[in-house]
Structure 1
Amino acid sequence: MSLHVSSELPMDGFVRAGTLAKVLGISVVTVWRWSAAGKFPKPVKVSGRVTGWPVADVRAWIAEKSNPTSQSASN
């Protein structure tokens, strides 16, 4: 998975699972599974039928995963 995708995300707001899957190169199901398992930020209910992830949370997750120091410290 390429974690240099932050330029493909909007600067702010929310992003939906399908967009995240495409940007991260994973399936939509994986986005939901990682969120449920605490491996990815939690989604937010934006409206009655729309759920999204805050872009700031996604960008922070990408930065954390891209930083080799934080990965070795968490293992």
Structure 2
Amino acid sequence: MAYGEAGAIHLLRPPDVCRQVGLGRSSIFQLLDLGRFPAPNKLGARAVAWLQSDVDAWIESKATI
């Protein structure tokens, strides 16, 4: 599947998530520990990434408050 193609899966690394949601890394991980932020996917022993769709859904849920 080509990058940017409709239906493609996009992964966001922590710096990308921070920029997109406007929170710092520690704030994101605090929300994660509280169950108030989507869980990341493990890419390796020390690497995680979030699905773009999960982050977008979280942002939309905050916009409706």
- Measured against the shorter chain, the TM-score band is 0.7 to 0.9
Q: Is the helix fraction higher in 1 or 2?
A: 1
Cα distance between partner residues in 1 of 2:22 and 2:59: 13
Question: What is the count of residue pairs matched by the alignment?
Answer: 58
| Superposition RMSD in Å | 1.7
Aligned residues with identical type, % of pairs: 26
Unpaired runs of 5+ residues, structure 1, are 1-10
Which consecutive segments of 4 or more residues in structure 1 shift more than 3 A? none
Q: State TM-score, norm by structure 1.
A: 0.65
**Structure 2: gaps of 5 or more residues:** 1-7
Structure-2 separation of matches of 1:55 and 1:20: 9
Q: TM-score, normalised by structure 2?
A: 0.72
